[in-house]
Amino acid sequence: MRGAPMPRLLHLVAFLLTMGAAEAQPQPLTPVNLGMTGTTTDVGFYVADKKGFFRAEGLDVKLTMFDSAARMITLFASGALDVGGGGPSAGLYNAVARGVDIRMVADKNQTVPGRGAQFVVVRRDLVDGGRYKTLADLRGMKIVSPAPGGSSTTTLDKVFEAAGITVNDVERVFMPLPQQVAALANKAVDGALMAEPMVSEVVKLGIGARVLADDMVYPNHQVATVFYSGQFAKKAEAARAFMRAYLRGVRAYTDAIVDARFVGPEGDEIIAIIAEYSHLKNAEVIRAITPAALNPDGALHMPSLREDLEIFRRQGLIEGAVSVEQAVDASFAQEAVKALGAYKPPSGR
């Protein structure tokens, strides 16, 4: 009779072993679809992916390249895209006015003085030949930028104001960022408003000359932001996890910059990551660029966003009643900072 309980004991042991094995199985990662434009301002995404910050937060992030942030809007509306990065656009505000739930949730680039994000580039032959001497000489030129109604629109508004001309004094052309290099090389356009790393590429190739940085005419401009679709924002834990990973990526990037230059081993690592993920593959060109300024706490510059919206309105690009506040949700960045702590530069800097 003493051996009778043995089968029950064996069943208990088997049950406990099964439970232990189940607990040891890794939890499935949450899929996240992320849209990028392939510029250096996407570096927070690059670093978070490469260094495993997304996976550490339980996320399986799929990165997809777009030629402009404006082309992501319809995918946000349909739920096909969860997160994106790019310039605040008239299209985004118009979508919000129509009731589409898209939110700007964190900084992705600001024109901190001395750290320009977009640059006016003029063909090298026009500079060398004397056709271009000052900003006023942009009059009559064919100027290319990524898309109408984006952050390049408001930047150029400031450029033309500084030049004493208007948008009607130039011929505007729109094409994706990577194609702008070929357009300058083929003399299909006279100038461009470009972002890094394309700017350094055309300068190195002798195709164009950098004539103005946007921080000189529009300091503290909120050039690019991180967007969440409404559907993703409602997946609260995944949305919070993504922001923590993203800000860790931005902070690792920021740690590698001293006096607006990539320095030391940390800098070499970041250069290699940018070369792997962005449109530009030349490490020495990347080393020469002025690193984009990203806020390591993710804070947005609200006055700039409000000014951009007024420029869009003045140009007749806004179709309904909408405010910046309707398109902004700063709660995810604020919660991430509570979890990570406010950013502190490395000791000695």
**Could you tell me if 242 and 100 lie in one domain?**
yes
Determine the pLDDT at residue 121. Answer: 97
Share of the chain above pLDDT 70, in %: 92
pLDDT at 265 over 60: yes
Helix (H, G, I), strand (E, B) or coil at 310: helix
pTM of the model: 0.84
Say how far residue 14 (Cα) sits from the centre of its chain. Answer: 52
**One domain for residues 176 and 261:** no
Do 103 and 228 lie in one domain? The reply is: yes
Do both 166 and 235 map to the same domain?
no
Answer for the pair 41, 195: CB distance below 8 angstroms, yes or no.
Answer: yes
What is the domain extent for residue 124? Answer: 118-216
Structure tokens belonging to residue 128: 């060398």
Indicate whether 51 and 151 sit together in one domain: no
What confidence score (pLDDT) does residue 2 get? 46
Q: Is residue 14 a part of any domain in this protein? A: no
Q: What is the pLDDT of residues 293-312, one digit of tens each?
A: 999 999 999 999 999 999 99
Strand runs labelled E in the chain: 30-36, 59-65, 83-86, 102-110, 118-123, 142-145, 171-174, 191-195, 208-213, 222-229, 257-258, 261-262
Last residue in a domain, options 167, 199, 216: 216
pLDDT digits (tens, 9 = 90+) for 90-119: 989 999 999 999 999 999 999 999 898 889
My answer on whether 133 and 205 are in the same domain is: yes
CA trace torsion 56, 59, 62, 64 (10° rounding): -90
Q: What is the largest CA-CA distance in the chain?
A: 107
Task: Give the tens place of pLDDT for each residue, 11-52.
Answer: 544 554 455 544 556 689 999 999 998 888 999 999 999 999
CA distance 289 to 38: 15
